[in-house]
Amino acid sequence: MTQEPFEAEGFGRVAEVFRSQLSRGLHFGAQLYVSLRGEPVLDLWGGLCDRAGRIPVRRDTPFMVFSATKAFTSASIHLLADQGKIDIDAPVADYWPGFASRGKGKITIRHLLLHQAGIPDKTGLGDLASWLVPGLPARRVAAMAPLHAPGEKTVYHKASAGFALGEIIRRASRLGAGDFLRGSFLEPLGMGGSFAGLPFGAMGRASRIYSGDPRQVSVARVFSLPPYRRMYLPAASLNTTARDLAVFYEMLCSGGIRGGRRYLSKEVVAGMTALRYDGPDGDSGNRIRWASGFGLGGYSPFPDKDIRHMGRGASERTFGHSGQGGCAFGWADPPSGLVFAFLCNRFLPLEAAHLRFQELADALWSCLPTGKKEV
């Protein structure tokens, strides 16, 4: 029996916004899955995987989620801490001695999670080529010289922190970051539509990647190449579905438990999603709220505009992570029990991407039944 899109009574306004964004050409195809206190209220998909119009988006279509991957790598790090294998506040060099070179000996794992390590990266051709060689990206990160003392500034680390965290996972677990993620979360959570590196057999049905922002065209082109689509970068290249992304956040929203199985302790989930930094990003100057591996809600990053990507009902207790150009966003709000997962296949400039998220999120918050906005 073919699965049909679903919208619970009272949530039609969100479905209207979802369809409107497709009709306005904000993206070619998309998926949206929302649950409330563990029960699905929206399971929507529509549009096309490819601009040529040959492949429709389906419920099980994989989308690349770019930096939304960081939430999964962060959860892997926190799981290792939960297991007593690492200490989040210990120096990275305690587990990876080579990382201490060039003055990086005092950088802790938490500095990496908070983008405060002082090794932000601007990807060049050498970096792109290195990603194709196993182990080389981590060695390149180990050779970096920090731009500032750890904790002195908060500057978004696009890929470098992910490679460092991936190396810590490898050394602490003896598994690559992708294998550890599969065994710890993807497979036991039943996330059968999620891939830490897209298999060759799924390439044909996966959503393609496009950019509506000239500054991000090169990113879309590079990650459309099969070798880059198939690799796994701990900071940037999980392929998944909206439903699967929601499953992951439902587990976190429930304090680390799902289906009777505990994945993370309640204390660890509370600690990893707690506010750790609220201030300017040292590169853009925009306001940012960071937990230890997740962004938080309840604010606008823009100094002259009130645009809230998790919606006006979110607070600093709302946590999640978005992806390149607004192509993906997963978040959870424990006070209300809301979990939101949205994927699409076209990058937009930062402000437009945040507005796309806000449209959906504001519609969602407005649909919450009385008495369920705070549980």
Q: What is the pLDDT of residue 370?
A: 61
In whole angstroms, give the CA distance from residue 263 to residue 272.
14
In whole angstroms, give the CA distance from residue 196 to residue 240.
9
In whole angstroms, give the CA distance from residue 320 to residue 339.
10
What are the tens digits of pLDDT across the range 215-263? 999 999 999 999 999 999 999 999 999 999 999 999 999 999 999 999 9
* Residue reference for tokens 């050409």: 25
At 136, list the tokens: 């080389």
At 281, list the tokens: 């990003």
What are the tens digits of pLDDT across the range 159-176? 999 999 999 999 999 999
What are the tens digits of pLDDT across the range 189-215? 999 999 999 999 999 999 999 999 999
Cα angle, residue 374 at apex, residues 244 and 368 outer, rounded to 5°: 65
238 DSSP β-pair partners? 196
Cα angle, residue 215 at apex, residues 213 and 219 outer, rounded to 5°: 95
Q: What is the pLDDT of residue 265?
A: 98
At 357, list the tokens: 């998220």
Cβ atoms of 162 and 236 within 8 Å: the answer is: yes
- Give residue 371's pLDDT band: very low, low, confident or very high (50, 70, 90): very low
Q: What is the pLDDT of residue 12?
A: 97
Nearest to 161 by CA among 118, 127, 105, 103: 118
DSSP assignment of 102-120, as one string? GGTTT-BHHHHHTT-SS--
Q: What are the φ and ψ backbone dihedral angles of 295, each rounded to 5 degrees?
A: -90, 155
Count helices and strands (H / E) in the chain. 12, 16
- Give residue 125's pLDDT band: very low, low, confident or very high (50, 70, 90): confident
Cα angle, residue 134 at apex, residues 132 and 139 outer, rounded to 5°: 105
What are the tens digits of pLDDT across the range 85-99? 999 999 999 999 999
Q: What is the pLDDT of residue 375?
A: 42
At 305, list the tokens: 């505009």
Strands 6-7 and 39-47: antiparallel
**Positive or negative torsion for Cα 246, 219, 213, 29:** negative
